[in-house]
Amino acid sequence: MQYISRLILVVSLLLAAQATVAQPPARQKENTNKSGKAAKTTAVTGLSERAKSQYPGTITPQEVEWKRDIYRELDLSKEKNASLYYPVEPMGGNMNLFTFLFGNIIEGNITAYEYSLDGYESFSEEKAVDPKLMLEDYRIYYEEENGKIIVGKSDIPSAEVKSYFIKESHYYDSRRGSYGIRVVAICPVMHRNEEFSSEETKIPMFWINYDEVAPLLARQSVMTSSLNNISSMSLDDYFTKGSYDGNIYKTVNLKNQAIAQYCQDSTAVKKEQQKIEQQLSDFRTNLWNTKTVAEIRQDSIDAAAKAANDSIEAAKAPVEKPKRPTRREQKEKEEVKSTDKVEKKSKSEPAKANNAARVSVRRTRR
């Protein structure tokens, strides 16, 4: 009896082992690739795929009931944006944003995506930029050793990157019942003097998917004050908290137009930027009134439509002509004129009579 029990136990163990090992070759290859990719991701970013999916900045489309995407330009000469520009060359562990992004692109930790002519970002594999071609296109000196690209610190053109384009997504999160702003994409803009020209030309270089680079930005700190040298924050906190200062140059719209394309001059551009900022502020404020989200969203649409109609009507409005007097006013005016003539005539008649008398007297004397 004991022999039979042992035999059954051994057979059970053999069957279990066979079920574990006996997998189709395709399934074994797939599992190997997944484990290798997960290990690579963890080594690069310090986070597993599961941890990245639970990253605080990630939301699903089903949770968003309202969203508006805008594009801003960050001028690094402004004080609030200076943390992204300095130090121009790495100093110890400190480096500016472009040097940080550039180094991770060359090492293959993050992917750069093509900046298209329409200015929109696409994070598809077809739009991925080859690092070596990028270096050649922007005339950046590099060396290649054993298949590895090496760029010297002084050859990184971080001094020429004087502004950034960023895409912001303003949204209402129905799960948390809150209004949020998240950065979706970052684009370094190079300011370079072309040949035979003293003016700088703005050259957008590439787009970076913020969700991909966020775990890395969380480990890189920047100084935020020249008065307090220990005042610092991570680059991820810098963007998440909205510590930057940028002007809106475009919104996602049906005509795919930047603000400068439908505004006639700089004054009109400034007014349009202020109007968009006010619309975003009004939506955020009105979230806490008694209206539902659907009603607030409709109000936002109606306000935008009204503003557009007002501008169209103002352009079509004819120039006001001088008001024509009515018949009664014209008749009264003519009566006043005739009365003035009569009065003048009555005043001149005595003078004529005196002159006539004088003439008659003189004639009589003769």
Q: Is 47 a member of any domain?
A: no
Q: Is 219 a member of any domain?
A: yes
* pLDDT tens-digit map of 193-223: 877 777 889 999 999 999 999 999 999 998 8
Q: Are residues 60 and 181 in the same domain?
A: yes
Instruction: Tell me which residue has tokens 């004639």.
Output: 363
Domain boundary among 260, 275, 305: 260
Q: Of all residues in the chain, what percent are helix, strand and coil, respectively (each to 5)?
A: 50, 20, 30
Mean local confidence (pLDDT), 9-30: 56
Q: Rounded to an integer, what distance in angstroms lies between the CA atom of residue 265 and that of residue 252? A: 21
Q: Is 105 a member of any domain?
A: yes
Confidence category of residue 234, pLDDT binned at 50, 70, 90: very high
**pLDDT beyond 70 at 226:** yes
Q: Which amino acid is at 212?
A: E
Q: Are residues 274 and 250 in the same domain?
A: no
Q: Are residues 286 and 168 in the same domain?
A: no
Q: Is 350 a member of any domain?
A: no
Q: Are residues 309 and 219 in the same domain?
A: no
Q: Are residues 238 and 269 in the same domain?
A: no
Q: Are residues 96 and 156 in the same domain?
A: yes
Residue 234, strand partner residues: 221
* pLDDT tens-digit map of 74-122: 999 999 999 999 999 988 888 999 999 999 999 999 999 999 988 889 9
Q: Are residues 285 and 218 in the same domain?
A: no
pLDDT value for 353: 47
Q: Are residues 307 and 239 in the same domain?
A: no
* pLDDT tens-digit map of 129-188: 999 999 999 999 999 998 899 999 999 999 999 999 999 999 988 777 888 999 999 999
Q: Is 48 a member of any domain?
A: no
Q: Is 327 a member of any domain?
A: no
Q: Rounded to an integer, what distance in angstroms lies between the CA atom of residue 174 and that of residue 297? A: 13
Q: Rounded to an integer, what distance in angstroms lies between the CA atom of residue 244 and that of residue 159? A: 19
Q: Rounded to an integer, what distance in angstroms lies between the CA atom of residue 123 and that of residue 184? A: 11
Q: Rounded to an integer, what distance in angstroms lies between the CA atom of residue 255 and that of residue 146? A: 49
Q: Is 102 a member of any domain?
A: yes
pTM of the model: 0.65
Domain boundary among 260, 277, 301: 260
Task: Give Cα separations from 151 to 105, 209, 216, 339, 364 (angstroms).
Answer: 12, 23, 20, 98, 127
Q: Is 34 a member of any domain?
A: no
pLDDT value for 52: 42
Domain boundary among 241, 260, 279: 260
Q: Rounded to an integer, what distance in angstroms lies between the CA atom of residue 282 and that of residue 209? A: 29
Q: Are residues 63 and 208 in the same domain?
A: yes
Q: Are residues 280 and 218 in the same domain?
A: no
Domain count, the chain: 2
Q: Rounded to an integer, what distance in angstroms lies between the CA atom of residue 68 and that of residue 253? A: 10
Q: Are residues 201 and 105 in the same domain?
A: yes
Task: Outline where 46-186 has alpha helix (H).
Answer: 49-53, 97-106, 131-137
Q: Are residues 73 and 221 in the same domain?
A: yes
User: Structural domain of residue 84, as residue ranges?
Assistant: 53-260
